[in-house]
Amino acid sequence: MEMSKRISILGSTGSIGRQSLEVIAACGMTVGALTANSNVARMEEQVRQFRPELAVMMDEKAAADLKVRLADTKTRVASGMEGLVEAAELPSADTVITAVVGMIGLRPTMAAIREGKRIALANKETLVCAGQLVQEEARDWGAEILPVDSEHSALFQSLQGCKDRREVKRLILTCSGGPFFGRSREELKHMTREDALQHPNWNMGAKITVDSATLMNKGLEFIEAMHLYHMPPEKISIVIHRESIIHSLVEYCDNAVIAQLGTPDMRLPIQYALTWPRRVEGPATPLDLCSCGPLTFAQPDLDTFRCLALALKAARTGGTAGAILNGANEAAVSLFLDGTIGFLDIADRVERAMDQVKVVQDPTMTQILEADQAAREAVLSA
Ligand code: NDP
Ligand code: MG
């Protein structure tokens, strides 16, 4: 099947961005715009290989450097948030992969939605903060939002053919448990940045890898699933599945459980978000059932991994609770990554922000941004 799609990638130099480009190359799609923060060397390489119309560096100095390096090419260079928004809106692209990390992705995602683009959404933080507004805008502008996150892609795949969402009894998110599965709080106290950056099954950016160690990632994904599939928190559950072979499951009212299986390879969910409703041959590693080992399941430990408990609380609270949780977590994870606070302090700081910042129901965009800011300040002033 021929795939004449043109894709823009926000965050092309990151883990998801690079794997997206592998899929694009393998499937014969073309690139409209690429964006990054400061990694000029990798951006130059990507531009020379994929020849986009526009390349954007968030960082002004990096953009000036890139402009010099690309002087012999036809690619235009832009910078800053203006540039990111321009990349998101680029008329020639039909699909935008949102693979920047953090709440910074919210404005460009909204911009792409208002152009009616298909959004292949990796940037889960935007949905956690502003899921309701993002979904409303998408409905109003006829923009499809398709999940890149492997669990949500698995749910989406397991929901194909479901004619009435009321037939869904429960969404079951699988969780690898991260590098610290089975550890006690006493042991976690001494975990360092290096320990936290060793994930058993996935090779990802630093922020999401820490989130996978605290299990905050699963909490963010719980809220992401509520918004993507319009499900109340009571209808979503989480099961530890160390092998990351079953990527998530849907339980229906007749007790049938439909799952999607595969090797832990993000290129498959990325590709499905680009080709849906079709499937095409692609670069993802095939699954060999006889060698993937036994598949195991367990309950998550909410007492040890308090970030997950806090996220579930935010999920039940609704309103700006998601923005507060996420803003506090982004701030706390950067403090952990730069060595300012310990591993268990991440949950302490997030909890403190959730206690201090007042939740507003049915928030406007301004109220969401205020909640995010107040939560970050609460973390930094602790
Ligand atoms: P990375 O850290 O690997 O990449 C982040 C990308 O965003 C890079 O291109 C980076 O540019 C750019 N970026 C970082 N900060 C800014 C900023 N302030 N302004 C503009 N651009 C910025 O992250 P991942 O690819 O791992 O994750 C991206 C998103 O996808 C996250 O939301 C994550 O939760 C989600 N996700 C990731 C998965 C994975 O397997 N990696 C799985 C599921 C979801 P530069 O290189 O110049 O710093
Ligand atoms: Mg995931």
Rounded-to-integer distance, Cα 179 and Cα 176, Å: 9
- Span 52-58, average pLDDT: 98
* 302: pLDDT strictly greater than 70: yes
pLDDT tens for 80-115 read: 999 999 999 999 999 999 999 999 999 999 999 999
Q: For the chain, report the end-to-end CA distance as a whole number of angstroms.
A: 56
* 10: pLDDT strictly greater than 70: yes
- Span 287-314, average pLDDT: 97
Give the mean pLDDT of the chain: 97
- Span 44-49, average pLDDT: 98
Confidence at residue 220, expressed as pLDDT on a 0 to 100 scale: 98
* 85 and 112 Cβ atoms separated by less than 8 Å: no
CA dihedral 319, 325, 327, 329 (to 10 degrees): -170
DSSP per residue, 282-331: -SSPPP-TTTS-----B---TTT-HHHHHHHHHHHH-TTHHHHHHHHHHH
pLDDT tens for 219-263 read: 999 999 999 999 999 999 999 999 999 999 999 999 999 999 999
Q: Which ligand 1 atom minimizes the distance to the CA of 202?
A: 40
Residue bearing tokens 């507060």: 324
Confidence at residue 347, expressed as pLDDT on a 0 to 100 scale: 98
Distance 191 CA to ligand 1 centre (A): 23
* pLDDT band, very low/low/confident/very high, at 3 (cuts 50, 70, 90): low
- CA distances for 341 relative to 189, 338, 347, 363, angstroms: 11, 8, 11, 31
Which region, left, alpha or beta, applies to residue 43 given φ > 0 means left and ψ of -120 to 50 means alpha?
alpha
Rounded-to-integer distance, Cα 382 and Cα 379, Å: 5
* 240 and 297 Cβ atoms separated by less than 8 Å: yes
- Span 155-173, average pLDDT: 98
Say if ligand 1 is within 6 A of residue 40 CB: no
- Span 267-281, average pLDDT: 98
Asked if the peptide bond before residue 277 counts as cis, ω within 30 degrees of 0, the response is yes
Distance 150 CA to ligand 2 centre (A): 5
pLDDT tens for 186-231 read: 999 999 999 999 988 888 999 999 999 999 999 999 999 999 999 9
Provide CB contacts within 8 A for 152, sequence distance 6+.
221, 224, 225, 228, 248, 269
- Mark 165-179 as b/e (b = at least 16 C-beta within 10 Å): eeebeebbbbbbbbb
pLDDT tens for 278-299 read: 999 999 999 999 999 899 999 9
Rounded-to-integer distance, Cα 307 and Cα 315, Å: 12
Residue nearest (by alpha carbon) to ligand 1 atom 45: 37
Could you give the percent of the chain with pLDDT greater than 90?
97
Rounded-to-integer distance, Cα 324 and Cα 354, Å: 6
Q: In terms of Cα–Cα distance, which of 298, 205, 196 is closest to 243?
A: 298
Could you give the percent of the chain with pLDDT greater than 70?
99
Residue nearest (by alpha carbon) to ligand 1 atom 19: 37
Better-scored residue on pLDDT, 308 or 202: 308
Mutate to test the pocket of ligand 1, among 8, 9, 12, 15 (most ligand atoms within 8 A of CB): 15
